[in-house]
Amino acid sequence: MRLVSLLTLLLCALPGLLLAADNPEPLRHLQTRWAEIRYQLPEAQQEAAFARLSEEAAASVKAAPQSAELLTWQGIILSTYAGAKGGLGALGIAKRARSSFEQAIAANPRALDGSAYTSLGTLYYQVPGWPVGFGDDEQAEVLLRKALAINPQGIDANYFYADYLLRNDRPEEALAALQQALKAAPRPGRELADQGRRGEIAVLLEKVRAELD
């Protein structure tokens, strides 16, 4: 069994990813390196690269354990690492990602425009459900809608909600979310992530339109 590549997926680059005012350099590094691995590195090399980046994220969180921004990005990296690894062996990594997102939400649910909600919601609809994993589509929608309440125009919040909607046979709603995602403003310093996400939006749009035809 293979966990769907996140966040892809993900997950989370994610909406309105502003730099943490108290610790910008580690966050900027994690964001930039995540995008490089996700969108520029050959797929066969991504698992090992994300494994190394997850160790860097852990070190950054250890130095600033209350940073909701760093906790969110630790979760994003772990989620994407789980997707690259695949199989049941990835479930433990996904659980670690879930814990990071939950800690981020507890510390500051509005950090990075609610990105932890987007990322956690994405994780819930991509991970297998019981008895294999902790996946839960209903919980996923609750979390994704919380993210949209915070950042209704965010590229990632809308993209992942659209992906969720299409997987749940709601293509009309998915189309509306994708159209909103395409209107999102560019994110300074996140040019590669924006380019990659827009490519994923284009692919998902084709699937949605095929469903609607």
CA distance 92 to 22: 30
Q: Which tokens sit at 101?
A: 């997102």
Q: How far is the C-alpha of 78 from the C-alpha of 70, rounded, in Å?
A: 12
pLDDT at 24: 60
Q: What is the pLDDT along the chain (213 residues), one digit of tens a residue?
A: 444 444 444 444 343 333 333 446 999 999 999 999 999 999 999 999 999 999 999 999 999 999 999 999 999 999 999 999 998 889 999 999 999 999 999 999 999 999 999 999 999 999 999 999 999 999 999 999 999 999 999 999 999 999 999 999 999 999 999 999 999 999 999 999 999 999 999 999 999 999 999
Contact by Cβ (8 Å): 90, 50? no
**Looking at the domain assignment, is residue 182 inside a domain?**
no
Q: Give dist(CA 106, CA 3) in Å, integer.
A: 26
**Residue showing tokens 């966050």:** 27
Region of 87 please: left (phi>0), alpha (psi -120 to 50) or beta: left
Residue 196 lies in a domain: no
Give the CATH number for residue 90: 1.25.40
Structure tokens at 37: 């691995």
Residue 212, Cβ neighbours under 10 Å: how many? Answer: 10
Structural domain including 140 reads 6-151
Number of domains in the chain: 1
| CA 35 and chain centroid, separation | 12
Q: Does a structural domain hold residue 161?
A: no
Residue 49 within any structural domain of the chain: yes
Question: Looking at the domain assignment, is residue 105 inside a domain?
Answer: yes
Q: Is residue 193 part of a domain?
A: no
